[in-house]
Amino acid sequence: LDHPGLPRYYEQYQNEQMLCVVREYIEGEPLSAYVRNRQLSIGDIASIARRLCDILQALHTHEPPVVHRDIKPENIIVRPDGDIALIDFDIARAVKAGSGTDTVFFGTKGYAPPEQYGFGQTDSRADIYAFGVLLRWLVTGSERANGNISIDPDMQRIVDRCTAFAPQQRFSDIAEVRK
């Protein structure tokens, strides 16, 4: 995977018990700290969202497609120049055509979609779900839907469609989300 928003691969070591992959260290601060220390405008949020869509597009169009499965503020690094990078591929997986479910259930509570808990195989729509939760968090400060917090109706429509319970009701791909 070669993209400026992803840590570069350097080398890997493997023995009978483990696989160790050495990747580039990304300088910067996690999005969670970045947001806490700044007042982001809707333009700032849209810029971060578009750049994350570009990174996810590179993952999801790879052959085979790669699903990160742990999109959350702590796994997005804001570099000193303001660009972003997606890190922590510990639970990422390549999509396997014909597989009914994932073999291991992982994810961060609040960001992981229902299918990551045994309701089906994860595909790019799992990352779209987490992207929607992240977008809600960026706009409202909360991962959870809250009827007491009013946001721009277009933004609400995007968040709602990204976070639909059924994967078939979400955007079909991240390019559609970005558009």
Burial of 175 (0-12, 13-18, 19+ CB in 10 A): middle
Q: What is the pTM of this model?
A: 0.86
Q: Which amino acid is at 128?
A: I
- Over residues 68-85, the pLDDT tens digits come to 999 999 999 999 999 999
Q: Which of the four pLDDT bands, split at 50, 70 and 90, describes residue 93?
A: confident
Mean pLDDT, residues 15-37: 95
Helix H, strand E, coil C: the string for 90-139 is CCCEECCCCCCCCCCCCCCCCCCCHHHHCCCCCCHHHHHHHHHHHHHHHH
Average pLDDT rounded to a whole number, residues 92-101: 66
Rounded distance between C-alpha atoms, residue 19 and residue 49, angstroms: 32
Annotation marks residue 70 as catalytic:
yes
Catalytic residue from among 54, 70, 83, 123: 70
